[in-house]
Amino acid sequence: MAISQTIGSPISGYEDRMTRIAVLADIHGNLPAFEAVLNDLAGVAVDEIILAGDLVGRGPQGSAVVRRARELGLQSVRGNHEDYLLSFRRREVPVEWLEAEEWSCSRWMAAELDQNDIEFIDSFPFTTSPSTAPTVKIFHGSPSSYNEGLGPWTEEATVRKYLVESHGEVLVCGHTHRPAQWDFEEGLAVNVGSVGLPFNADTRAQYAILSQQQSGWSVEPRFVSYDRELVFAAYESSGFLEHGGATAVLLQHEVATARPFLVPFLKWAEITQRLPVMASLEPFLAYFDPSLSMADQYKRLDKLRAEL
Ligand SMILES: [Fe+2]
Ligand SMILES: [Fe+2]
């Protein structure tokens, strides 16, 4: 159900715009980042706020984020982390995932959701459009899969194809945790980045406002500072750090640096034939250089694989 809402009053320069849509993706159980973005939106009137999935997973406050979204009547598309935690709740995962240390964080995050949260996230569709802007097509990853992230590495022809196939003027997505934009004659494609867990070395909460004017659509990426100490406090007080194993520690590093730690850890563990558990954390952190790009991380990991 799409709920149209206006938060705040128009600020100077916005009055002539026809429609404004805020799209927020990848909140990942980070309530302080979500609240900071909602506060930011209080100063900029928008017609609708739409969530682009991954409200939950990879963070300690999935239930609180889902509850807040539900209270505000926000709609979301389905992210891979909604489905991932639903699978854990339903025990539709390999049996060892229900017991082994390396999945302790996922089990904790799935257990933290209450029945209302579960029903709400299970209602998310694969794609949606704002009721006030049906030519805006929103997906979590891409029109092909919620696991496919669109970024600078994506072939231009692929983005153009998705624009044509989605029959819209604007294609909006998240999932990569890195904002990006493409402006083609077929339309505008936007990756809005991540509210709760950005990977572009900018620790601020990130989202985008799309504005429709006479000349067409434009995108305003937004970057919102917030108190990350509140997140780290939630990591402690919720039991997430205590019960989430190596994953929770690595996610805390991700919030602190806005760089990916978890996926490189899993790759490194596979290459070095270690279990991705707490005992492997120290040697991984001694090896890992978070300042490298993901492409360079993979090159370095390939070199390590060749050496072993
Ligand atoms: Fe995500
Ligand atoms: Fe995702």
For residue 55, the ligand closest to its alpha carbon is 1
For residue 58, the ligand closest to its alpha carbon is 1
* 57 C-alpha to ligand 1 centroid (Å): 8
* 81 C-alpha to ligand 2 centroid (Å): 6
User: What gap in Å lies between CA 243 and CA 106, rounded to an integer?
Assistant: 10
* 25 C-alpha to ligand 1 centroid (Å): 8
* 91 C-alpha to ligand 1 centroid (Å): 22
* 55 C-alpha to ligand 1 centroid (Å): 8
* 268 C-alpha to ligand 2 centroid (Å): 21
Going residue by residue through the chain (308 aa), what tens digit of pLDDT does each one get? 233 333 444 444 555 558 999 999 999 999 999 999 999 999 898 999 999 999 999 999 999 999 999 999 999 999 999 999 999 999 999 999 999 999 999 999 999 999 999 999 999 999 999 999 999 999 999 999 999 999 999 999 999 999 999 999 999 999 999 999 999 999 999 999 999 999 999 999 999 999 998 889 999 999 999 999 999 999 999 999 999 999 999 999 999 999 999 999 999 999 999 999 999 999 999 999 999 988 899 999 999 999 98
* 92 C-alpha to ligand 1 centroid (Å): 21
pTM over 0.75: yes
